[in-house]
Amino acid sequence: MLSGLMNFLRACFRPRSNQYSHTSLDTGGRQDGLLWYKDTGQHVNGEFSMAVVQANNLLEDQSQLESGCMSLNELGPYGTFVGVYDGHGGPETSRFINEHLFQHLKRFTSEQQTMSVDVIRKAYQATEEGFLSLVTKQWPMKPQIAAVGSCCLVGVICGGTLYVANLGDSRAVLGRAVKATGEVLAIQLSAEHNVCIESVRQELQSLHPDDSRIVVLKHNVWRVKGLIQVSRSIGDVYLKKAEFNREPLYSKFRLREPLKRPILSADPSISVHQLQPQDQFVIFASDGLWEHLSNQEAVDIVQNHPQSGSARRLVKTALKEAANKREMRYSDLKKIDRGVRRHFHDDITVIVVFLDSNLVSRASSVKGPNLSVKGGGVNLRPNILAPCATPTEAGST
């Protein structure tokens, strides 16, 4: 009976060549089953490596690396943009961010004629407002889109400065060499917004002092209103706007009491780092990686192997850890198809950006070819509607 069910699920989830397409915009990306990877490429500040492994039936992780001009005109500045967007409840929000956030950033950079924290914050705000407009339009036909959201991790390297912005629980980790010992230490650059962290729970409780159930321990996991693990995101408008927290939204997402003010925020935490010659690389990854590897373990893997294939190596190490936790072989895990695979691990996206100090110091003013790479997966084409289904538990990022 069980084997028959597994065969049926595999048949349902198997892509048909006339209906599905790989989404990489760069022909250098390769597919190995549910693993997409680009082992090496060149950005204006050094080299990079990308990898994505799909677990959900529809890939909820989206990602991109943009290199070259950071504005709408060719006057610059020039740099590198990295985005990792870990969706939940469906792929709509992460796909929207992947199409719009960088364009907003280029527009605001053009207006201010420089890269800044303010430019990045405005790009996030414009993306949030754009998705809210989309939800408003689709609400009559597709109300469940109100319960779809995404974490949003961005890195911008420009003029020798690294900006890291984050909503949710994806993570950016720097590998920094220590001259005295030769070690490469892991330094976390991003602030996370997951209510498993006590300080995040305290922040929510201070913002909502009249709500004793703003965070709830449910099945041994802390969740905002018992629904979602992250306190900041793009989308999830059912926890931001009262008009979207009502029927016909599924009852499990509707609050018992009226929504008086937004519960979740789309205001990113942004940090600024002046890059030093000892800064070797930055790992940008969705929480699917960090569930299985510590910051230092990830940095050690990158440091102790050739640069080419670094992202794929990290993803495979995480998958082997996921298999070990379920007392199964990695080779058997690889045979499990998307959808069913989500019971074993999450979608995982990794982008490793290597920093060439000679290039970093002059890259903002040196023109180079524009490069755009978007992480791949087995996805429905944009003009084919995703199947209508009950969203998975929101915020299980």
Q: Give the pLDDT confidence of 129-186 residue by residue, as tens digits.
A: 999 999 999 999 999 999 999 999 999 999 999 999 999 999 999 999 998 898 999 9
Domain membership flag for residue 299? yes
Tokens of 143: 């109300």
384 occurs within a structural domain = no
Residue 29, both tokens: 């990306």
Q: Could you identify the residue written with the tokens 């490469």?
A: 184
Task: Look up residue 176 and give its two tokens.
Answer: 């920094």
Are the C-beta atoms of residues 190 and 170 closer than 8 Å to each other?
yes
Q: How many domains does the chain have?
A: 1
Asked if 319 and 350 count as a contact pair (C-beta separation under 8 A), the reply is no
* pLDDT-above-70 percentage for the chain: 86
The answer to whether residue 256 is domain-embedded is: yes
pLDDT for 363 equals 58
Instruction: Please report whether residue 303 resides in a domain.
Output: yes
**Which amino acid is residue 38, in one-letter code?**
K
Indicate whether 8 belongs to any domain: no
Tell me, what's the pLDDT at 183? 94
pLDDT at 387: 38
Copy the structure tokens of residue 307: 């640069």
Judge whether 66 and 104 are in contact, CB under 8 Å. no
Q: What whole-number distance in Å separates Cα of residue 326 and Cα of residue 342?
A: 13
Q: Which residues of the chain have pLDDT under 70?
A: 1-28, 363-366, 377-397
Angstrom CA distances, 20 to 93, 230, 251, stand at 19, 31, 32
* Token pair belonging to 277: 């010659």
Bridge partners of residue 173, in order along the sequence: 188, 283
The pLDDT value given to residue 302: 98
| Residue 347, domain member (yes or no) | yes
For position 366, what pLDDT does the model report?
65
Domain, as residue range, for 53 = 30-194+230-375
Cα–chain center distance at 360: 24
The pLDDT, as a whole number, for residue 23 is 33
DSSP bridge partners of 84? 63, 153
Compute the residue count for the chain. 397
Domain membership of residue 2 (yes or no) is: no
CATH number of the domain bearing residue 164: 3.60.40.10
pLDDT at 281: 98
Q: Is the pTM of this model over 0.75?
A: yes
> Looking at the domain assignment, is residue 5 inside a domain?
no
